[in-house]
Structure 1
Amino acid sequence: MKTLCFSLGLLLLAVCCCNAMPKAILHATTPGECCFKFSDRALPSELVADINKTHLSCWKKAFIVQTVRNRKICYSQSSQWALDTYNKLHNTEGSGHH
C-alpha cells in the first residue's frame, strides 16, 4: 500500500511539473502587447524610434512602431510602409553588411 501511495504521489508530482513547465515558458515569452486597431497613415522616418513585429501568439500579426515621443502605433502586417520601415531598421543594424 505504501508503494502504491508513493507511486501515485510521484505520478501526481510529475504531472504537475510537466503541466507547469509549458505555462512558465509561455508566460516568459508572451507578448507585452498585441494590436487590435491599426493606423494607415505613414509617419516621417525621423519620428520612428523603433519598429517591431507583434509576438507570434497575437491573433493579428502587425508591426508596432514606437515614436520618438514614446508613443506606440500599430500597423497591419500588410502595410507596405511598415514593412519597408521594419526592413530598413532591422536589416542595417548589426547585420555586418554595407
Structure 2
Amino acid sequence: MKTLCLSLGLLLVVACCCDAIPEALQYSTSPVKCCNVFSNTRVPRNKVSSIKKTHNSCMKKGFIVETIKGKLICFDQSFGWAKNLYKQIRNAEGNRLQQ
C-alpha cells in the first residue's frame, strides 16, 4: 500500500512538472532575457548604461535598455528611438575598440 501511494504521489508530481515545462522553456531562468511588456517612454541618453537586443529564442523581439541605476526597460524592435539608441551605442563602442 505504501508503494502504491508513493508511486501515485510521484506520478502526480511529474504531471505537475510536465505542465510547467513549455512555459519554462519559453521564459527561461537562464541568463537569456525576454520581454513581455514594452515601454514607449524614452530614457534620457545620460541615464542609459547599455542596450542590447533580446535573445533570438524570445517570442517578442525588442531591445533591453539598462539604466545607470540597474533598471531594465524593454522597447519594441520597431520603436524608432530604441533603434537609434542601439545604433549610437554600438557605433560608440566600435570607435572605442578601434582606438
Shared fold (TM-score, shorter chain, > 0.5): yes
Matched, 1:79 2:79: yes
Matched, 1:61 2:61: yes
Matched, 1:36 2:36: yes
Please provide the CA RMSD for this pair. Answer: 1.6
Query: For residues 75 and 94 of structure 1, what CA distance do their matches in structure 2 show?
Result: 23
Q: Is the CA contact 1:63–1:75 (under 8 Å) kept in the aligned structure 2?
A: yes
Q: What does residue 46 of structure 1 align with? A: 46
Query: For residues 80 and 92 of structure 1, what CA distance do their matches in structure 2 show?
Result: 18
Unaligned 5+ residue runs, structure 2? Answer: 1-29
TM-score between both structures, scaled by the size of structure 1: 0.64
Dislocated runs of 4+, deviation >4 Å: none
Q: What does residue 88 of structure 1 align with? A: 88
Question: CA shift at 1:31, angstroms?
Answer: 5.3
* Number of aligned positions between the proteins: 68
Amino acid at match of 1:79: F
Unaligned 5+ residue runs, structure 1? Answer: 1-29
Amino acid at match of 1:65: V
